Structure 1
Amino acid sequence: MTLDDLVRLRRARDRIDREYAQPLDVPSLARTALMSPGHFSRSFRAAYGETPYGYLMTRRIERAKALLRRGDLSVTEVCMAVGCTSLGSFSTRFTELVGESPSAYRARDHSAGAAIPACVARVGTRPVRNEEARPDATPLA
């Protein structure tokens, strides 16, 4: 993979980070990276360790966790706010990545993590698939 490819992939990843709540698909992200959809998907996975869709959903769940910690929105409102259109799919993916349902996560007391700066909390609370979780990791929130 060339440096130019990595720059174009980064541009697409940055777009996902910015526009996670918008409808995004592989063909439009591939156009952002100036690649064919197949080449983009393979290159993205090689560069970042997950598919473009997987990265998008991880970003959405990461944002959903922050909204749920605030506690002023319902799970359905959070689902729609992060760009998911199906509450069932959102809840399934959230549970897969976080290890508990969105309702259970929202109901938990998050005051212990309130003093942690957001930039630090983001690293410690980034959703990962359950089988990818390190056994020595301690959750921050």
Structure 2
Amino acid sequence: MTRRIERAMTLPRRGDLSVTEVCFAVGFSSPDTFSTRFTELVGVPPGGYRRDHSQTGTGIPSCLAEQVTRPVKNQGARAR
């Protein structure tokens, strides 16, 4: 699930796909489920993320952009 959401986070930056298209591209069959899971892991709904990050990563290699924007599953956990 986390990998699907990570992939979904990279697609809106291109700006050519709608949220629904991203949902199906990463393997979800329901836009509602996609939106719920995305919001749980990322902290903002996919539409808001797309709006805020559509140009993020311009000029940055995709491998670095993915690493920097990777969602943190359990943000309340203490670091070890």
Q: TM-score, structure 1 length as denominator?
A: 0.49
Q: TM-score, structure 2 length as denominator?
A: 0.82
Residue 101 of structure 1: aligned partner: 45
Which amino acid is 2:16 matched to? D
Give the 3-state SS of the residue equivalent to 2:36 in structure 1.
helix
Report matched runs for 1:72-111 at 5 Å: 72-111=16-55
Asked if residue 70 in structure 1 is aligned to residue 1 in structure 2, the reply is no
List alignment gaps of at least 5 residues for structure 1: 1-56, 135-141
Query: Kindly, what percent of the aligned residue pairs are identical?
Result: 60
Report matched runs for 1:8-27 at 5 Å: none
Residue 61 of structure 2: aligned partner: 117
Report runs of 4+ in structure 1 exceeding 6 Å deviation: none
Determine which structure has the larger helix proportion and give its number.
1
List alignment gaps of at least 5 residues for structure 2: none
- CA RMSD across the alignment: 1.8
Asked if residue 132 in structure 1 is aligned to residue 58 in structure 2, the reply is no
- Structure 1 residues 38-58: Cα deviation after superposition (integer angstroms, max 9, x where no partner): xxxxxxxxxxxxxxxxxxx11
- Larger CA Rg, structure 1 vs 2: 1
How many residues in Structure 1 have an aligned counterpart in Structure 2? 77
